[in-house]
Amino acid sequence: MSQQSTKHEFRAEISQLLNLVANSLYGDAQIFIRELISNSSDALEKARQHNILTGSTSQEDPFQIKVSFDKDKSELTFVDNGCGMNQTELVEFLGTVANSGTSNLIKQLSSKSEKHELIGQFGVGFYSTFIVAKTVEVTSLKQGDDPKNATMWRAVTGENSYETMPAEMEQSGTIVRLILKDEHKEYLDRWKLEQVITKYSDYISFPIMLEKQPIDESSDDSETDDKSDAVVEEPSEQSPEWEQVNHASAIWTRQRKDISEEDYQSFYKHISHDSENPSRWSHFKIEGKQEFSGILYLPSKAPWDLAYRDKRTGGLKLFVQRVFIMDEADQLIPIYLRFIKGVIDSNDLPLNVSREILQNSRATQTIKQTVTKRVLTMLEDFAKDTPDDYLKFWKTFGNTLKEGVGEDFSNKDRLLGLMRFSSNKTDKEQTLSLADYVARMPETQKKIYYIIADSYESAANSPHLEVFKKKDIEVLLLHDQIDEWLVSHMNQFEEKTFQSVAKGEIAEDESEADKQALEEKTKQFDSVLKQAKEILSDRVKDVMLSKRLTDSPSCLTVADNEMSNHLKRMLQDAGQAVPDVKPTLELNPEHSFVEKLHNETSDEAFEKWVNFLYGQAVISESGQLADPVTYIKSVNRLLEDLI
């Protein structure tokens, strides 16, 4: 090459990444084949899409990927006639980290110890070639550019720079030429290559052509034996012969029975950039008024950005009549299912469909509804078939799924059916379904009870649970951030309403005798309650005797229609204005502290006791005292009396 080459430095983090990839993925070396073929396939999809959109008919060769090798030179070459890259793109795509996931990966690499796992989670793509190659050379011509304007990109493993130089190519596309390291020469073997390609890339919808004979064997004497005159070799014998080694049909168009588990898994890795296998998938074909097919995958691990609803890398890959249209089409699936990966191939959408058209199309709505139902069915089957694995899914994706209860009214019941909770009768793990809860409710119980707190411990030990424990009633313990929002949307399940144990009346299973006893007590405590209410008038709405408490002396409650104290605290923490509704202080008349109030003659001591009981109630629900000093002083005063 006589033309001028330009030297570029890899960005520091890329060098770091290259070294890490080369070292930590040593054992998975063969993934470079999958990654290169996957990139070629993407490029071919884009080229085909480009041709269709521009009405171009100048395509000479069929779209395909060619793999050839030369043992003597240790060369392994991948050629595609896809969209190609110009000089700027080569520098941008192969020399910097474009993908936000990857830059996040690099940030984490310095801190985390499980580097192998991390790299696997993000997908290494093109850089995997550095595991096996001494030199990586990419020559590319962008679709539509002058054949004289191709560019070659070259890097030597272990160096921190790469060079680019002008080149020529006959047709647009990309040639990736690797000079393999001595210890990876096994990939210069036809049998080995075919084995890896069919194992990991059979789902690719373009033909993958593997060179039939290594070039050095074309001069083998055995085949020229019967030729009387071997002076001139036919040119056709010099150029390699090719054999197609894959099915080359879009995997979703094939019959389920003809697709192996491995094919499904490889295809998942291709579209998701996840190195783990998916935990389940659903392959379907819809016929009738609207026709579309697809495969939906449930990943086994959460993507790093699962929590971000707006910055998500969600959505499905969209094809129209086998032609690739776009990645991450998030119009096709609700936001709360953003962890689902997959493809949809529609026969109804136009080939030039844009995101805007997609947004407003009726076809999109139908696809979205069907996709949602498919995913829910997949999850229901998951929970039924392998309940233990489903709990792992729930742990990872449960909070995301909960968003759906408020967002997807038409599927609310099915979503509620998929929820798992902990309760005062289970351990900390969220394993209880609402169906199981309802199934073991006694006849007399009319509602589904729950409590919300900041943590499992705070929920499990709440004074509000005391009477439920005594009466052996099951209460759901909710303690995830999103749960306040969740309960505001889950009005009913199997015709049972939900009831917070910290709110309003709890008339469950109350006997006439109990009622009378309480009325009697309330009369006795009349002056105590009045006096306490006066003292606390700026903090509570009312002071009354409690039906909830058995062990604790006091707790706070709000009315059914009022905002819970927990939600109020959450909103306050988020800097939002909250309505100024005061809670009710409930006192346990059986408790000795409350008894004490009854007999207290000193006004000063009475006030200390009231402040103390109020403070305990606030603290027991992880609340914050507006005036902790007064509380502490009251407690200290009371303790001093004991000394």
3-class SS at 624? Answer: coil
The answer to whether the CB of 242 falls within 8 A of the CB of 194 is: no
Task: Copy the structure tokens of residue 300.
Answer: 């086994």
How far apart (Å, rounded) are the C-alpha atoms in residues 20 and 210?
30
454: Cβ contacts below 8 Å, ≥ 6 apart? 479, 566, 569, 622
CB of 155 to ligand ADP, least distance (A): 13
Does the footprint of ligand ADP cover residue 197 (CB under 6 A)?
no
CB of 34 to ligand ADP, least distance (A): 10
The option from ligand ADP, Mg ion, none interacting with 251 (CB < 5 to 8 A, set by class) reads none
Nearer to ligand ADP, 20 or 94 (CB): 94
CB of 128 to Mg ion, least distance (A): 9
Report the largest interatomic distance among the alpha carbons of the chain, rounded to a whole angstrom: 128
Q: In what order do the strands lie in the sheet with 496-500?
A: 422-423, 475-478, 448-452, 496-500, 492-493
From candidates 30, 39, 81, 266, binder to Mg ion by CB under 5 A: 39
Nearer to ligand ADP, 31 or 473 (CB): 31
Nearer to Mg ion, 37 or 473 (CB): 37
How far apart (Å, rounded) are the C-alpha atoms in residues 181 and 132?
6
Residues near Mg ion (CB under 5 A), total? 2
From candidates 29, 83, 418, 585, binder to ligand ADP by CB under 6 A: 83
From candidates 126, 242, 456, 485, binder to ligand ADP by CB under 6 A: 126
Residues β-bridged to residue 66: 79, 209
CB of 44 to Mg ion, least distance (A): 13
From candidates 21, 69, 82, 558, binder to ligand ADP by CB under 6 A: 82
3-class SS at 241? Answer: coil
Task: Copy the structure tokens of residue 260.
Answer: 């192996």
Angle between helices 115-122 and 12-24 (to 10 degrees): 110
Does the footprint of ligand ADP cover residue 43 (CB under 6 A)?
yes
Residues β-bridged to residue 585: 543, 556
Task: Copy the structure tokens of residue 334.
Answer: 């609700």
CB of 40 to Mg ion, least distance (A): 9
Residue among 74, 96, 83 nearest 49 (CA): 83
What element of type H or E holds 133? strand 133-141
From candidates 84, 125, 334, 553, binder to Mg ion by CB under 5 A: 125
Binding to ligand ADP in span 44-63, by CB under 6 A:
none
The number of angstroms, rounded, from the C-alpha of 446 to the middle of its chain's C-alpha atoms is 37
398 DSSP 8-state letter: H
Stretch that binds ligand ADP, among 39-47, 194-202, 329-337, 541-549 (CB under 6 A): 39-47
CB of 396 to ligand ADP, least distance (A): 23
Stretch that binds Mg ion, among 70-78, 118-126, 286-294, 535-543 (CB under 5 A): 118-126
Does the footprint of ligand ADP cover residue 177 (CB under 6 A)?
no
Question: What's the angle, vertex CA 420, arms to CA 298 and CA 501, rounded to 5?
Answer: 150
The option from ligand ADP, Mg ion, none interacting with 25 (CB < 5 to 8 A, set by class) reads none
Site string for ligand ADP, 521-540 (x = CB under 6 A): --------------------
Does the footprint of Mg ion cover residue 82 (CB under 5 A)?
no
Nearer to ligand ADP, 169 or 451 (CB): 169
Question: What's the angle, vertex CA 23, arms to CA 20 and CA 28, rounded to 5?
Answer: 110
The answer to whether the CB of 196 falls within 8 A of the CB of 29 is: no
Does the footprint of ligand ADP cover residue 40 (CB under 6 A)?
yes
CB of 165 to ligand ADP, least distance (A): 18
The option from Mg ion, ligand ADP, none interacting with 43 (CB < 5 to 8 A, set by class) reads ligand ADP
From candidates 93, 284, 304, 485, binder to ligand ADP by CB under 6 A: 93
558 DSSP 8-state letter: B
Torsion, CA 71, CA 73, CA 79, CA 85, rounded to 10:
150
Stretch that binds Mg ion, among 38-46, 370-378, 392-400, 630-638 (CB under 5 A): 38-46
The option from ligand ADP, Mg ion, none interacting with 615 (CB < 5 to 8 A, set by class) reads none
CB of 90 to ligand ADP, least distance (A): 8
CB of 84 to ligand ADP, least distance (A): 6
Does the footprint of Mg ion cover residue 207 (CB under 5 A)?
no
Q: Enumerate long-range contacts of 227-231, CB under 8 Å, 24 or more apart.
A: none
Stretch that binds ligand ADP, among 79-87, 315-323, 538-546, 625-633 (CB under 6 A): 79-87
CB of 47 to ligand ADP, least distance (A): 9
Does the footprint of ligand ADP cover residue 273 (CB under 6 A)?
yes
Task: Copy the structure tokens of residue 54.
Answer: 């521009």
3-class SS at 551? Answer: coil
CB of 273 to ligand ADP, least distance (A): 5
How far apart (Å, rounded) are the C-alpha atoms in residues 32 and 568?
53
The answer to whether the CB of 50 falls within 8 A of the CB of 82 is: no
Stretch that binds ligand ADP, among 19-27, 119-127, 394-402, 422-430 (CB under 6 A): 119-127
In degrees and rounded to multiples of 5, residue 426 shows phi and psi of: -120, 180
Give CA separation, 30 vs 33, 126, 206, 265, 400, in Å: 6, 13, 20, 16, 35
- Residue 440's Cβ-count burial label (10 Å; 0-12, 13-18, 19+) is exposed
CB of 41 to ligand ADP, least distance (A): 9
Binding to ligand ADP in span 16-35, by CB under 6 A:
35
Judged by the rule CB under 6 A, the positions of this chain that interact with ligand ADP are 35, 39-40, 43, 80, 82-85, 93-94, 123, 125-126, 174, 273
- Contact set with Mg ion (CB under 5 A): 39, 125
